[in-house]
Amino acid sequence: KAGVTQTPRYLIKTRGQQVTLSCSPISGHRSVSWYQQTPGQGLQFLFEYFSETQRNKGNFPGRFSGRQFSNSRSEMNVSTLELGDSALYLCASSSLGGAEAFFGQGTRLTVV
Partner 1 sequence: AQRVTQPEKLLSVFKGAPVELKCNYSYSGSPELFWYVQYSRQRLQLLLRHISRESIKGFTADLNKGETSFHLKKPFAQEEDSAMYYCALGADHSGAGSYQLTFGKGTKLSVIP
Residues that bind partner 1 (CB under 8 A): 3-4, 31, 33, 35, 42-45, 48, 50, 55-56, 58, 90, 92, 94, 96-106
**C-beta of 20 vs 45, nearer to partner 1:** 45
Least separation in angstroms between CB 71 and partner 1: 20
Strands 107-111 and 10-13: parallel
DSSP labels, 28-46? T--EEEEEEEETTTEEEEE
Nearer to partner 1, 46 or 81 (CB): 46
> To the nearest whole angstrom, how small is the minimum distance from the Cβ of residue 32 to partner 1?
11
Q: Which is nearer to partner 1, 19 or 91 (CB)?
A: 91
Beta strand extents in the chain (DSSP E only): 5-7, 10-13, 19-24, 31-38, 42-50, 53-57, 64-68, 74-78, 87-94, 102-103, 107-111
Bridge partners of 35, per DSSP, are 45, 90
Nearer to partner 1, 81 or 90 (CB): 90
Q: Please report how close the Cβ of residue 43 comes to partner 1 at its closest, in angstroms.
A: 4
Closest contact distance (angstroms) between CB of 86 and partner 1 is 18
